[in-house]
Amino acid sequence: SGDCPNGWTHHGTSCYRLRMDTETWVDAKLVCELDGGYLAEIENIPENNFIHGLITDNKNLWLGGTDLSVETEWMWIHSQQPFGYTNWRPTEPNNSNKDENCLEMDPNGLWNDRPCHYIQKYLCER
């Protein structure tokens, strides 16, 4: 609806497309880019609430955040901005096994760092 292409949902100043095919974080990023978008970025509580509302199962969702470049320095990969707003689950990010560099939202709308090679659904934005 609104000014978004078919299959995309409008919210705020962006369009969103939830992809239920499962991919690694890098492949999810690539699919979003091939579809004219990027892995979703969250700047504030209303955006977090909106995206949380898109989760209707008990599964996690890849977002466009990473600390792949410099451990503990979390960045939005598309905008290349450091995190401002965050909604980490308590005790996260924990870089479990020293190898968790990609950002997911859990079904409670809270954030966790997860190994980037996990395959799971993801959210594109444009």
Residues 83-122 that bind Ca ion (CB under 5 A): 92, 94-96, 100-101, 112-113
Identified binder of ligand GN1 from the candidate list 41, 67, 92, 125, rule CB under 6 A = 92
Identified binder of ligand GN1 from the candidate list 48, 87, 101, 112, rule CB under 6 A = 112
Pick from ligand GN1, Ca ion, none: which does 24 bind, CB < 5 to 8 A by kind? none
Q: Which residue is nearest to ligand GN1 (CB)?
A: 96
Identified binder of ligand GN1 from the candidate list 49, 69, 79, 94, rule CB under 6 A = 94
Token pair listed for 52: 């949380």
* Segment lying near Ca ion (by CB under 5 A), choices 8-16, 50-58, 60-68, 80-88: 60-68
CA atoms within 13 A on the CB side of 38: 11
How far is residue 28's CA from residue 34's CA, in Å, rounded to a whole number? 10
